[in-house]
Chain A
Amino acid sequence: MSEEKRIRERDVIIETISRLMIPFIQLFALYVIIHGTKGPGGGFQGGVIFASSFVLYLVVFGLAAAGKRFPEGADTALMSTGVYIFAGVGLLCILVTLGTAEYLNYGFIPLTHHFEENRALGMDLVEIGIGITVMAVITEIFFNLVWKKEEEKGKGKEEQR
């Protein structure tokens, strides 16, 4: 029983520090995603870092608050949105050149007038898609791992999630 109470207890230091840290973690994740084409990092790493900010939020504020901030429906939608961005950019290369360019040959997407800039922008778009999917999937795995216990404790309080 004392252990149950210790989980529920709120700590003002941890909450304040997390509140301060989470936006910077997310900003760093976006930086990693965008700079993944030029340096270390990329969509997968940025997505994991972005998901770890939600994991931190869930650990500190509990499942009810985290479920309100990041509902499961939005999670599922984001998961497929990332895949659609990836597949859509790849297919767009085939569509705009009527089948002469390969799948994910970004240079042929007519975003700008320069081939190299097209390639850089297409790469960024694909990285954003990967990041969105990885972020949603890792957050969802963690949510599902911790869900059952809280659900049994709250007895239907988490139903709206």
Chain B
Amino acid sequence: MIVPIDLALLTLIVIIALAAITVRDLLSAIMLLCAYSFLMAMVWVEMHSVDVGFTEAAVGAGATTAFLIAALSRTVRWEKK
């Protein structure tokens, strides 16, 4: 466990999570959630939990993003004010 890498990853995760809930473009929000999942997978691997990180990378960054984009194709892209 390397502390500087952990701190950098966790700071980036907090920034990305805040951006994902404040952004008004839903496609951008989905992409930010994908980046969030990927960084989260890196944090899991950093904590020596490779299995959880593997699942997070496969499900969170892969399948969920595809599902959310497919669901977004049924609705409008911009959130109402």
List residues of chain A with CB under 8 Å of any chain B CB. Answer: 32, 39-42, 44-45, 48-49, 51-52, 55, 59, 138, 141-142, 145-146, 148-149
CA distance A149 to B69 in the complex (A): 13
Q: With a CB–CB cut-off of 8 A, which chain B residues contact A48?
A: 55, 58-59, 62-63
Secondary structure at chain B's binding surface: helix, strand, loop or mixed?
helix
Residues of B within 8 A of A (CB-CB), count:
15
The reply to whether A141 and B67 form a contact with Cβ atoms under 8 Å apart is: yes
Q: With a CB–CB cut-off of 8 A, which chain A residues contact B55?
A: 44-45, 48
Q: With a CB–CB cut-off of 8 A, which chain A residues contact B50?
A: 39-40
Contact residues, B32-55 vs A (CB, 8 A): 50-51, 53-55
CA distance A149 to B12 in the complex (A): 36
The reply to whether A52 and B70 form a contact with Cβ atoms under 8 Å apart is: no
List residues of chain B with CB under 8 Å of any chain A CB. Answer: 50-51, 53-55, 58-59, 62-63, 66-67, 70-71, 73-74
Contact of A59 among B51, B54, B66 (CB under 8 A): B66
Closest Cβ of chain A to B50, distance in Å, is 4
Q: With a CB–CB cut-off of 8 A, which chain A residues contact B51?
A: 40-42
Given contacts A45-B55, A145-B70, 17 further A-B contacts (CB under 8 A): A39-B50, A40-B53, A40-B54, A41-B54, A44-B55, A48-B55, A48-B62, A49-B58, A51-B63, A142-B63, A142-B67, A142-B70, A145-B67, A145-B71, A146-B70, A146-B73, A149-B74
Closest Cβ of chain A to B62, distance in Å, is 5
Secondary structure at chain A's binding surface: helix, strand, loop or mixed?
helix
Closest Cβ of chain B to A54, distance in Å, is 10
CA distance A138 to B74 in the complex (A): 19
Pick the most buried of B66, B71, B74: most chain A CB atoms within 10 A of its CB. B66
Find the B residue at minimum CB distance from A139.
B63
CA distance A145 to B67 in the complex (A): 7
The reply to whether A45 and B58 form a contact with Cβ atoms under 8 Å apart is: yes
Find the B residue at minimum CB distance from A50.
B58
CA distance A63 to B47 in the complex (A): 40
